[in-house]
């Protein structure tokens, strides 16, 4: 399922909305989730899961080709933890 | 941020929807995604990330409390792979959108 499949399904079940409106809403939802993570906020969707931002500390790496040392700066990574309900659902 | 916050955002940013309608839509988005995953179909949201399903084989494990050997059964697990856009977005120093 892609984002456009999701929009399609939504507009089928929400007959009061056009496909275009559904698309704008779906984009709004994911854009605002992205911005929340950018602010370092945790997102909790009950029954689905939660998104958090983890910080990976700076470390020293090596260029595998030349063997040269390179500094890898601190980095923030998004992390998803699946909710109990969904975890059991996919394993059903 | 919770589902209720997303409902509020949809209500404020999209004109012409009632609170109840906004709530139904947000609810429906996650329910539709769940139904797809339940069927074993992965989800790709461009600009955000992919939710993929992985089938894990059974393996041997150990109860960390008692030290007993146990069999971890075969299972299907859900993983999230953030898109490159999301990964770079959260590392941007200033707010851009």
Of the candidates B40, B46, B53, B47, the one whose C-alpha atom is nearest the C-alpha of residue B80 is: B53
Size of interface A-B (CB pairs under 8 A): 137
Does B41 contact A2 at a Cβ distance shorter than 8 Å? no
Say which DSSP state B93 is in.
S
Residue of A nearest to B3 (CA): A45
Pairing of strands A49-56, A43-45: antiparallel
* CB < 8 Å to A17, chain B: 25
Q: Is residue A80 pLDDT above 90, yes or no?
A: yes
Burial class from Cβ neighbours inside 10 Å (0-12, 13-18, 19+) for residue A92 reads exposed
pLDDT at B94: 65
Q: What is the mean pLDDT of residues B24-48?
A: 96
The residue with greater pLDDT, B78 or B94, is B78
**What pTM value is reported for the model?**
0.89
Helix (H, G, I), strand (E, B) or coil at A15: coil
Q: What is the mean pLDDT of residues A71-80?
A: 94
Q: Is residue A27 pLDDT above 90, yes or no?
A: yes
Q: What is the mean pLDDT of residues A64-82?
A: 94
Does A3 contact B28 at a Cβ distance shorter than 8 Å? no
Confidence at A15, pLDDT banded by 50, 70, 90: confident
CA distance B12 to B78: 32
Q: Is residue B97 pLDDT above 60, yes or no?
A: no
Q: What is the mean pLDDT of chain A?
A: 95
* CB < 8 Å to B51, chain A: 80
pLDDT digits (tens, 9 = 90+) for B9-18: 999 999 889 9
Q: Is residue A28 pLDDT above 80, yes or no?
A: yes
* Helix or strand run (H / E) with residue B13: helix B3-13
Confidence at A16, pLDDT banded by 50, 70, 90: confident
Q: Is residue B96 pLDDT above 60, yes or no?
A: no
* CB < 8 Å to A42, chain B: 1
Extract the tokens encoding B30. Answer: 């996650």
Q: What is the mean pLDDT of residues A62-86?
A: 94
């Amino acid at each position: 399922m892609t984002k456009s499949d999701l929009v399609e399904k939504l507009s089928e079940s929400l007959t009061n909305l056009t496909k275009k409106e559904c698309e704008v809403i779906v984009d709004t939802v994911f854009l605002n989730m992205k911005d929340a993570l950018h602010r370092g906020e945790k997102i909790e969707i009950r029954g689905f899961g939660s998104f958090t931002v983890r910080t990976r500390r700076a470390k020293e790496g090596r260029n595998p080709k030349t063997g040269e040392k390179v500094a890898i700066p601190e980095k923030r990574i998004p992390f998803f933890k699946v909710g109990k309900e969904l975890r059991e659902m996919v394993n059903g | 941020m919770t589902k209720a916050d997303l409902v509020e955002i949809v209500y404020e940013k999209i004109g012409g929807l009632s609170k109840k309608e906004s709530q139904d839509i947000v609810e429906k988005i996650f329910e539709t995604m769940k139904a797809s995953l339940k069927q074993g179909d992965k989800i790709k949201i461009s600009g955000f990330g992919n939710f993929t399903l992985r089938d894990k084989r059974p393996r041997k494990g150990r109860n960390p409390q008692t030290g007993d050997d146990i069999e971890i059964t075969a299972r299907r697990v859900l993983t999230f792979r953030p898109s490159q856009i999301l990964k770079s977005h959260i590392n941007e120093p200033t707010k851009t959108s």
